[in-house]
């Protein structure tokens, strides 16, 4: 992308409405604009990050055998009347009436719809287990939308739903999904710690929230730092073997981690003092086994081995894709702007031409740019060097390729690492290899 032709409205001043860093930086970096309270348009740079995150999420869901589908955002109230949640959900649900006076709603979540779709299609226990997911916009009429896309009213969520024959199989599914989540967050370049969450009236132990540490988080968190040091991508788990899944899960859950709601002072006291971490966290994911709650209330059964009706056990698994954009920024920035993990950055690098119109500078920049025009942002504007540096730091590209007349004479590029600030002089080829 050539910056001179991009729709990339950066702001020099801090917008007054933004109370936290990520919101400020997303507005300043031209990633989003608010169009109504808690509702945002995603501008090209913001959309790039949103897509990169969604693709990593998608890849790891597919890797544990979940299948992607896409359900509508608009739902019929009838579905929710069948589960009994239409009245129970309360004012967070945006209710709409169509021209024929039918009650509709903008989906805040999709348990009812997926259970109905499942029931229409799956008739026999032989077709279980099934795990289905989508990445789709949700609407929750939050009382206090705030902090930009961190708590929006319209937001982008990955929601998966599982159907299993019995509890043991549902537990396997839950553990596979746990691993998928840990790998997803690791690939996103952040540490999200899984913490036991309240299972409410259903009970059991199978609910975890995933929290990213940041001072602006809404939950207090307590965890064993050993959880930060695990390499989940390298962890060898046989997804089709119950014992292997159990070993992984018991190993992971042996380390203490809880939000303030679930905190247990006695268990905490047993964590070695040097490994105790206490702070604030942002909820970026939540997984939950809720047994037969929806299959029973909506009367969705398959025929079991003996021909008798069997109500599958379900779970649901959410990741806040749009919230993650903000959460990653909360966890990774400095005074000058965003520091993107390479896996989600809108562009791999910025090419900064320090002297537009200088034949050698222009030639080197064009050569760099031609290597990956979709992944590089070429700052070809007739701006001062200082303004270009400031924008590149603000936008947070992992690398900056700086081309000035002195180096260009010798065919050299200065390569700056955004995170460490380290700079080295490289040939064009070496620079391209470094940022690949
Ligand atoms: P919160 O406690 O922040 O209100 P929640 O527990 O109501 O979230 P879930 O129903 O567990 O949310 O939804 C799954 C994920 O969707 C959450 O972990 C979060 O990352 C994301 N999410 C929920 N509400 C919002 C929102 N208003 N804006 C952006 N993301 C959201
Ligand atoms: Mg909520
Ligand atoms: Mg919550
Ligand atoms: Mg939750």
Query: How many A from CA of 32 to the centre of ligand 1?
Result: 19
Taking the CA of residue 219 as reference, the ligand 1 atom at the shortest distance is 2
**CA 376, 329, 68 angle in degrees (round to 5)?**
75
Structure tokens at 293: 């709650």
Query: How many A from CA of 318 to the centre of ligand 4?
Result: 8
In terms of residues, how long is the chain?
436
Q: What pLDDT sits at residue 73?
A: 98
DSSP result, 11-23:
-SSPPTT--SHHH
Taking the CA of residue 152 as reference, the ligand 1 atom at the shortest distance is 28
CA–CA dist 351, 431 (Å, integer)? 11
Residue nearest atom 23 in ligand 1 by C-alpha distance: 320
Residue 276, judged by CB atoms within 10 A of its CB (0-12, 13-18, 19+), counts as: middle
Kindly report, residue by residue over 314-346, the tens digit of the pLDDT.
999 999 999 999 999 999 999 999 999 999 999
Mutate to test the pocket of ligand 1, among 153, 157, 177 (most ligand atoms within 8 A of CB): 157
Q: How far is CA 312 from the centre of its chain?
A: 29
Render the burial of 103-138: b for 16+ CB within 10 Å, e for the rest: eebbbbbbbbbbbbbbbeebeebeebbbbbbbbbeb
Residue nearest atom 19 in ligand 1 by C-alpha distance: 320
Taking the CA of residue 140 as reference, the ligand 1 atom at the shortest distance is 27
Query: How many A from CA of 133 to the centre of ligand 1?
Result: 16
Q: What pLDDT sits at residue 199?
A: 79
Taking the CA of residue 319 as reference, the ligand 1 atom at the shortest distance is 15
Residue nearest atom 22 in ligand 1 by C-alpha distance: 320
Taking the CA of residue 284 as reference, the ligand 1 atom at the shortest distance is 20
CA–CA dist 77, 147 (Å, integer)? 30
Query: How many A from CA of 320 to the centre of ligand 1?
Result: 6
Mutate to test the pocket of ligand 1, among 85, 93, 283 (most ligand atoms within 8 A of CB): 283
Q: What pLDDT sits at residue 205?
A: 73
Query: How many A from CA of 150 to the centre of ligand 2?
Result: 11
Query: How many A from CA of 133 to the centre of ligand 2?
Result: 20
Residue 406: strand pairing partners: none
CA–CA dist 82, 84 (Å, integer)? 5
CA–CA dist 139, 303 (Å, integer)? 35
Query: How many A from CA of 8 to the centre of ligand 4?
Result: 33
Helix (H, G, I), strand (E, B) or coil at 335: coil
Mutate to test the pocket of ligand 1, among 320, 321, 327, 330 (most ligand atoms within 8 A of CB): 320
Per-residue pLDDT of the chain (436 residues; tens, 9 = 90+): 999 999 999 999 999 999 999 999 999 999 999 999 999 999 999 999 999 999 999 999 999 999 999 999 999 999 999 999 999 999 999 999 999 999 999 999 999 999 999 999 999 999 999 999 999 999 999 999 999 999 999 999 999 999 999 999 999 999 999 999 999 999 999 999 999 988 777 666 799 999 999 999 999 999 999 999 999 999 999 999 999 999 999 999 999 999 999 999 999 999 999 999 999 999 999 999 999 999 999 999 999 999 999 999 999 999 999 999 999 999 999 999 999 999 999 999 999 999 999 999 999 999 999 999 999 999 999 999 999 999 999 999 999 999 999 999 999 999 999 999 999 999 999 999 999 9
Query: How many A from CA of 316 to the centre of ligand 1?
Result: 13
Helix (H, G, I), strand (E, B) or coil at 301: coil
Q: What pLDDT sits at residue 202?
A: 67
Using CA atoms, how far residue 11 sits from 29, 71, 323, in Å, is 7, 37, 22
**Which ligand neighbours the alpha carbon of 259 most closely?**
3
CA–CA dist 373, 6 (Å, integer)? 13
Using CA atoms, how far residue 103 sits from 98, 246, 294, in Å, is 7, 45, 21
**Using a 6 Å CB cutoff, which residues line ligand 1?**
140, 142, 151-152, 155, 157, 283-286, 318, 320, 322-323
Cβ–Cβ < 8 Å for 368, 401: yes
């Amino acid at each position: 992308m050539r910056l001179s032709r991009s729709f990339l409205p950066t702001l020099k001043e801090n917008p007054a409405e933004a109370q936290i860093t990520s919101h400020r930086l997303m507005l300043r970096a031209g990633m989003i604009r608010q169009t109504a309270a808690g509702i945002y348009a995603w501008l090209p740079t913001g959309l790039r990050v949103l897509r990169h995150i969604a693709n990593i999420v998608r890849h790891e869901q597919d890797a544990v055998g979940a299948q992607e589908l896409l359900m509508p955002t608009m739902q019929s109230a009838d579905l929710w009347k069948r589960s009994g949640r239409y009245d129970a959900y309360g004012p967070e649900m945006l209710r709409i009436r169509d021209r024929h006076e039918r009650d509709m709603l903008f989906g805040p979540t999709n348990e009812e719809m997926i259970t109905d779709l499942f029931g229409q299609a799956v008739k026999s226990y032989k077709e279980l287990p099934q795990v289905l997911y989508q990445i789709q916009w949700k609407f929750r009429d939050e009382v206090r939308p705030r902090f930009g896309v961190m708590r929006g009213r319209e937001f982008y969520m990955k929601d998966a739903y599982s159907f299993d024959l019995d509890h043991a199989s549902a537990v396997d599914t839950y553990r596979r999904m746990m691993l998928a989540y840990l790998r997803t967050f690791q690939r996103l370049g952040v540490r999200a710690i899984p913490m036991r969450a309240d299972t409410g009236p259903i009970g059991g132990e199978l609910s975890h929230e995933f929290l990213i540490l940041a001072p602006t988080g809404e939950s207090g968190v307590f965890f064993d730092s050993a959880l930060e040091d695990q390499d989940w991508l390298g962890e060898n788990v046989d997804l089709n073997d119950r014992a292997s899944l159990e070993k992984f899960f018991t190993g992971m859950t042996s380390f203490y981690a809880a939000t303030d709601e679930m905190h247990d002072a006695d268990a905490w006291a047993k964590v070695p003092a040097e490994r105790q971490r206490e702070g604030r966290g942002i909820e970026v994911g939540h997984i939950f086994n809720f047994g037969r709650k929806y299959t029973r209330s909506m009367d969705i059964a398959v025929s079991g081995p003996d021909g008798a009706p069997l109500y599958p056990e379900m779970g649901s698994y959410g990741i806040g894709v749009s919230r993650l954009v903000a959460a990653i920024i909360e966890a990774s920035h400095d005074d000058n702007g965003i520091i993107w993990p390479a896996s989600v950055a809108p562009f791999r690098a910025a090419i900064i031409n320090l002297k537009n119109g200088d034949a050698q500078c222009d030639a080197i920049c064009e050569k760099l740019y031609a290597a990956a025009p979709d992944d590089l942002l070429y700052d070809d504007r007739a701006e001062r060097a200082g303004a270009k540096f400031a924008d590149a730091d603000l936008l947070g590209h992992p690398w900056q390729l700086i081309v000035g007349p002195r180096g260009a004479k010798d065919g050299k590029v200065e390569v700056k690492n955004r995170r460490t600030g380290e700079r080295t002089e490289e040939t064009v080829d070496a620079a391209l290899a470094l940022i690949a």
